[in-house]
Amino acid sequence: MDWSHLWLYVSPPIVGGVIGYFTNDIAIKMLFRPYRAIYISGRRVPFTPGLIPRNQERLAKNVSDTIMGSLLTPEELQKLARRLLQTERVQGAILWILRLAIDQLKSDKEQKTAKILSGILRDLLGESLPRLLKVLARREDFLEAQVNQIFDQILLDFQLTEEQAGRLAEWLLQVVVPPDVLRQAIIDFLTDRTIQTIDESFREKTSGTYWVVANILGLRNALSRLRTYCLDEKDATNARLQELTQELQVRDRIKRFLLSLSLQNLPIGTVRQLRKTTRESVRHYLQTRGSDLLQGLSGSVDWENTAMLLVNRLSTSPVVTSSLEVVSKELALVLERYLERDLEAIVTQVIPILAIDQVIVDRVKSTSPADLEAAIEGIVKNELQAIVNLGGVLGFIVGLVQVTFLLFSQSL
């Protein structure tokens, strides 16, 4: 072998390796570069822009079809939804939302929730409940059990205490029938016609000693003088009536009467009839005037202040705080039962709404070629470098084959 011609045998593997290495590297670069078309004399230079930038829209559509066709199928989305919507996760999310709502109530300086609640309460008591009451009050059994229970447990067992009876008797004597009112009642009662009627009745219906008094002395003169005395001597009459009230112990008599006053002392039939009458009276009152009562009550209530107090109380109530976990668990179970039944239909409706395929297309189309190149190289950088290295190895092998053929041809 002529070693002066060693370069003829060494250069083919080296040149082949270099060509193979840089050819693959250039080919991979040409997938992305140049990023934009290059024009010379108004003509676009071939292979510009790179393959992927030139077909980026079609690439986006193919990527979207591939993902939606084989990766994000409705079945896979259902499985994903089931994993995401496990009872524990849903319960935790609902509990977080409820606690966030409570914290929002505490920090709500504008009291928006209180204003909304006040409107609801005002409409409920002032509008909705009166209309509902009118409809319900038409039923014969409306509040029957409730009124009967109140009658049996409260009214039937109700009885004044000694102190209450004494105060009520005192009030009756001082306010309802004081001496002046009693005097005026005597005057109104003893009219000329009334005196004549009493006198004639006594003359006709009495006998014995009473007949003598009635027919000889008569009552007309005595009753007329009593009436005249009450008219002319007001102060003296009032004083005399006051004395009679004390001497006859009218207050004590009224007090004993009030103490003995109880529905239990009445006959059973009377009590039953009274209970029925009470129930019908309550139903009739609610039917005719219940709406006005509720509307008037609603108009007199400061609903904003009431709603604010309710919201503040609920936001700081330990009962509400301790019940959040129970509520969140129950809501999570309700949602779980609903998803078990309708998850497939929900996913079918959600896929067109989300438009995942169009999102993928728009995202790929809006990505710049440089960013797209960086993203792909970040994923398959090692694989792309392996291809470049493989090109160099194959070029080196081809060079060795050429040297082998050269040596073989010289030996012949």
Sign of CA dihedral 243, 247, 251, 254: negative
**d(Cα 377, Cα 382) in Å, to the nearest integer?**
8
Half-sphere exposure of 351 (CA within 13 A, CB side): 17
Tell me the average confidence (pLDDT) per consecutive run of 10 residues in the chain, 412 residues long: 60 75 72 75 74 74 75 72 75 80 70 77 80 80 81 78 86 87 89 84 73 68 86 89 87 86 77 84 82 79 80 75 80 77 72 73 76 68 69 77 75 64
Per-residue pLDDT, 217:
65
In the block, tokens 């009334």 appear at: 194
CA 45 to chain centre: 67
Q: How confident is the model at residue 220, as a pLDDT? A: 80
Residue with tokens 């071939």: 46
Alpha helix locations (H) across 355-368?
356-366
Cα–Cα–Cα angle for 49, 55, 56, nearest 5°? 100
- DSSP notation for 171-240: HIIIIIS-HHHHHHHHHHH--HHHHHHHHHHHHHH--THHHHIIIII-SHHHHHHHHHHHHH-HHHHHHH
Q: Which of 115, 118, 89, 124 is nearest to 335 (CA)?
A: 89
As a whole number of Å, the end-to-end CA separation of the chain is 13
| Structure confidence at residue 55 (pLDDT) | 74
